[in-house]
Amino acid sequence: MNPQLLYVYIKDIGRCFYNQEFSFTNDFDIQFGQERRLLISRKPNPYKKLWGSNISNVNLIVGKNGAGKTTLFDLLGSTNHRRKNLFKKPLRSKLDEFKEEWFAVYHIANDLFVIEGYNPALISNISEIPYGTSYEYSIGATYSFEEQHAQYDDYIQSMSMDGDENTLNRNMLSLYFANDNTKDWFSGNAIRDDEQDYYVGFQRLYSNKPRYANIYKFISREYKMLEKDHTSRHAICVLEREDHIYPGMVTKAEALERFELYLYQDKSQILYYQTEASIILYGSDGNRKRPGSPDRWTTKEKFIITYVEAFIIDLWMNRTDALLEEGAKAECSAAIAALEINANHFQERIGYLLHVLQLINAAADPKLHAGRLRLDAELLTIVVEAFTETADHYFTSSTKMTLHLNEDFDNGIHKLFELFDAYIPRSHAINHSIRITFRHLSSGELAFINGFSNLYTAIDIAQNNKEIKTILILLDEPDASFHPEWSRRYIHNLSKFLNAIDFGRELAYQIVIATHSPFIVSDVPSEHITCIRLHGVVGGIQRIAAKAEFGLMSNFYDIIQNDFFIHSPIGEHAKSIFEDIIKRIGKLREFDKEEIDGLQQLISAIGEPLIRGKLQQMLTDRTTKLFPELERFRRISELERELSQLKKEQRGDNDD
């Protein structure tokens, strides 16, 4: 059985909601309130497997901006540290104390449930909770549906199912993808670590940036599966070495003069200080070569050699003064200058440069972050090996790699990106030596790729953590920047994407989406849609959560007229035009050709085909009902005469 989030009750979290409940299941009816009793009853669910075999259910949280959708997601998906910072309530005095009160209910199997939250005393009909249970708690409980009463079993860190050696708290993971508009991966900013949780309940992982490997995998492979018109066919990814060695405008000749370390026993051999032209025209021994000379460095070799040289130069120029005492630095320099090398061969050069790194590391004072230097050197070795195994044609200069993303998926490139994902956050030096950028993508493509690339995090977690049986995916406005057609297809693409993965074991995705767009609503039953309404009250705004009156296959204009959505997909002036068209259609009480023609012309000017088509259908339905009786008879007679004439022409018996 796969764990599943069923219900959340919020009494007070110091932010947005007070005394509100949210249901995320159609398998149970859950109520809480009278005498603080938690009432659970089973009910038949007609929507099982509605979104495929891998997705247990899809729920929507809808409402205008500021309704509290993100607050709910912060509560469910943020790590414990982040949540504590988010839900701090200002206290009136030092004597005041605010404590959150809320709980979430999960179904595990049969009559076994997990209840976690803040303040275990909030629910009155759970018996035998141990004295001293912390205010923040997560417990397993057996629920009697007949007696409507729960009995404490154990803390979930101590429970397992059916002899499974993994504890219950490891069977489910909440994976929260916050809405991120920066798209740092596109501009080349490093992607930071995912934020892990330390919490008494189910695991939580907060992530708002996809990994490079997942971006590459999605663009080069899965994008084509979801969208037949692969609009990003011209997209490229560039990996470019960046130099942070010398401040200001310094020529390579001046920089070489300043550099005091005698690499290769001859500083002129250092490729990093040579121009692109000189590297091509001169061989590795410094003698002039013909352009076609067989022992000239390949572009790939130049890239890797200069990459490692730049690392060593940066280390020696900018970091060794802090790592090596003056005497140790002089001894290290002399030892490096004494190293002999036949610099004509690529592998010998790389081995020599890595040996230089080992000498610097050995000379560094262990008390002065020498461990960080050792880490950098180890990571550099691994990255160099990955570059060496990468196909030659990706290297377009001594400082740049270029990947055309419409080409077939390349396992070598994917492995290289996995290394950068794993090591960039751990190594400042590696982080600043290679800049990764994606180019020739529109803003809509960026949003589309960003969202689906993030989902690979869930897949990676499922593949690498066999104890996980359910991943609760929380998506905060994933379609916010989409073209309306992509929003309309989002649930379809989401289910297609997640159901395409075969894990060879039972695993379920439970998905909760926060949105204020109408385009994905018609793919979800109303029982799975919670609307948050804003009500003005004395002293502020009250938020009320309730199930939707619209849902699966609802008409678009029925949805869009609802005050949750009308402002979202179109501009404010367009909104007034839209509302005016609907009102004018609704006011048609008799056949008015001039008014109908005017509406027809206005509707035809609407640029979005989906909205234009719905309004046109609405006008057609209305005018059909309003057709005057005599006009209807006249039209019928006219059509009958035309039909009779056609029959005569077909028989060759034309009266004319």
Express each pLDDT in 452-496 by its tens digit: 888 887 888 888 888 888 999 999 988 877 777 788 889 999 998
Q: In a 10 Å sphere around its CB, with 0-12 CB exposed, 13-18 middle and 19+ buried, how is residue 103 labelled?
A: buried
What pLDDT is recorded for position 372?
Answer: 73
Q: Are residues 204 and 338 in the same domain?
A: no
Same domain, 14 and 131: yes
Query: Does 213 share its domain with 169?
Result: yes
Q: Residue 210: what pLDDT?
A: 82
204 within a domain of the structure (yes/no): yes
Structural domain span for residue 266: 246-399+412-437
Do 196 and 302 reside in the same domain of the chain? no
* 504 in the same domain as 609: no
**Quick check: is 250 in a domain?**
yes
Per-chain mean pLDDT for the chain: 81
Largest CA distance in the chain: 118
Residues 522-545 have pLDDT tens digits of: 889 999 999 998 877 656 678 889
| DSSP assignment of 365-412 | -TTTTHHHHHHHHHHHHHHHHHHHHS-GGGEEETTEEEEETTSPP-HH
Among 509, 535, 557, which residue terminates a domain? 557
In the predicted model, is pLDDT for residue 291 greater than 90? no
Chain centre distance of CA 159: 32
Its sign, for the CA torsion 572, 576, 581, 582, is positive
Tens-place pLDDT, residues 234-260: 788 999 987 766 655 567 778 888 888
Residue 563 counted as domain residue:
no
Which domain-ending residue is among 535, 557, 579?
557
Burial class (CB in 10 A: 0-12, 13-18, 19+), 305: buried
Q: Quick one: 430 and 490 in the same domain?
A: no
Q: Is residue 173 part of a domain?
A: yes
Residue with tokens 């009500």: 535
Is residue 612 helix, strand or coil?
helix
Name all contacts of 320-328 with Cβ < 8 Å and 24+ positions apart.
320/360, 320/364, 322/368, 322/369, 323/360, 323/364, 323/365, 323/368, 323/369, 323/370, 323/373, 324/360, 324/363, 324/364, 324/365, 325/365, 328/363, 328/364, 328/365
**What are the pLDDT digits (tens) for 70-100?**
889 988 888 777 777 766 555 455 555 667 8
- Whether residues 278 and 366 share a domain: the answer is yes
If you average pLDDT over residues 4-32, what whole number do you get? 92
My answer on whether 198 and 281 are in the same domain is: no
Confirm if 23 and 121 have CB atoms less than 8 A apart: no
What's residue 564's pLDDT? 59
Residue 122, domain member (yes or no): yes
- Which range among 123-132, 269-278, 484-493, 571-580 has the greatest average pLDDT? 123-132
Provide the CATH number for the domain around residue 201: 3.40.50
Query: What is the domain count for the chain?
Result: 3
The two three-digit tokens of residue 148, written as one number: 């409507």
Quick check: 76 and 474 in contact, CB under 8 A? yes
Mean pLDDT for 26-33 is 92
pLDDT at residue number 153: 93
**pLDDT beyond 80 at 149:** yes
Residue 407 lies in a domain: no
pLDDT at 167 over 80: yes
In a domain, 25, yes or no: yes
Predicted model pTM: 0.75
Interaxial angle between packed helices 490-499 and 443-464, expressed in degrees from 0 to 180 and rounded to the nearest 10: 30
DSSP 88: P
Angle between helices 346-363 and 299-318 (to 10 degrees): 20
Between 486 and 514, where is the model more confident? 514
pLDDT tens-digit readout, 604-655: 888 877 788 888 888 888 887 776 655 666 778 788 888 888 888 887 755 5
Tell me, yes or no, whether 429 and 457 share the same domain. Answer: no
Q: Are residues 254 and 214 in the same domain?
A: no
For residue 341, pLDDT over 90 is answered with: no
Q: Give me the mean pLDDT over the 280-286 stretch.
A: 41
pLDDT over threshold 80, residue 498: yes
Residue 205's DSSP bridge partners are: 175, 196
Of 4-18, 229-243, 357-371, minimum mean pLDDT range: 229-243
Q: For residue 241, is it within any domain? A: no
Q: pLDDT per residue over 196-215, tens digit each?
A: 666 678 888 877 678 888 88
Answer for the pair 62, 515: CB distance below 8 angstroms, yes or no.
Answer: yes
3-state class of 149 per DSSP? strand
Beta strands in 460-507 (DSSP E): 470-476
Q: Do residue 289 and residue 379 come from a single domain?
A: yes
d(CA 93, CA 98): 11
> Same structural domain for residues 68 and 138?
yes
Task: In whole angstroms, give the CA distance from residue 540 to residue 314.
Answer: 57
Across the range 49-62, mean pLDDT stands at: 92
**For position 196, what pLDDT does the model report?**
64
Q: Which of 73-77, 319-323, 483-487, 566-570 has the highest mean pLDDT?
A: 73-77
| CA neighbours closer than 13 Å in the CB half-sphere of residue 455 | 24
